[in-house]
Amino acid sequence: MQCVILAGGLGTRIRERGADLPKALIPVLGKPFVEYQLEWLARQGVRSVVLCVGHLGAMIAAAVGDGARFGLSVTYADEGEILRGTGGALRLAADLGLLDESFFLLYGDSYLPIDLAPVWRTSEEGQVCTMTVLRNRGRWDRSNALIRADGALFYDKFIADPVAAGLDSIDYGLSILRREAVLREFARGAKGDLATLMNKLSIAGRLRAHEVHVRFYEIGSPDGLDDFVAYVGAQNGEANSDTN
């Protein structure tokens, strides 16, 4: 299985905590955040990772390398400092010949304590575009999705009033996409937002929902980083107690 990680953002909300580092390299208890992601993916059976980088991307490439020490093959789609948005970054990866026919997609500031295999099964092993969602009801951020009775998903990140529209779920941060959908939606070299593609797929009935039931972690904000540090600390404490 392949996973693409979107790690090209500027990290403006976390800049005071990240100093001159890209978000992927912000240290969490002495280890760069991206290493937690890569170790999790390797445990899940992922073997190929594409890192879509931009701002300070060379620093990420220097720290991660070819991924061999994680049991992974890591390649890079580097936008440089002229960012194309999440959709444009995926199109660049496709144009570089890096994308499999279908692939997992993960945000560069997200850590998700779930198993990938059930999500892959929901997507019919990559045949159907799929988004993981969490019943939100406004707890973590604005809801942007609605799970339909048939398992299809309606998604709209930009809707003016999600409550009035009945949206009660939120994008959990992990999707499965098909390369042909990326090529069809985003022109070579153009800027674009992945949310636009997801919205169009959902309106066409081509986006499936996979509901998860545990919270996500993110380091894109100071509060989110603090929550993830606490989570890792608790996990490390449990691991240490198991060995005593």
pLDDT tens digits along 108-118 = 999 999 999 99
CA distance 63 to 72: 14
Residue 188 has a pLDDT of 95
Structure tokens at 82: 């002229």
- In the chain, the domains with their CATH numbers are 2-242 (3.90.550.10)
CA distance 89 to 190: 9
Strand 130-135 and strand 145-147: pairing?
unpaired
Rounded to 5°, angle at Cα 138 from 215 and 116: 30
User: How large a percentage of the chain has pLDDT more than 90?
Assistant: 76
What kind and span of H or E run contains 209? strand 208-212
CA distance 50 to 96: 11
In sequence order, which residues have a C-beta less than 8 Å from that of residue 235 and are 6 or more positions away?
Answer: none
Residue 153 has a pLDDT of 96
CA distance 199 to 153: 9
CA distance 193 to 182: 11
Residue 14 has a pLDDT of 59
Residue 243 has a pLDDT of 44
CB atoms within 10 A of CB 59: 16
Ranges of residues in the chain with a pLDDT under 50 are 243-244
End-to-end CA distance of the chain: 36
CA distance 90 to 93: 5
Residue 237 has a pLDDT of 75
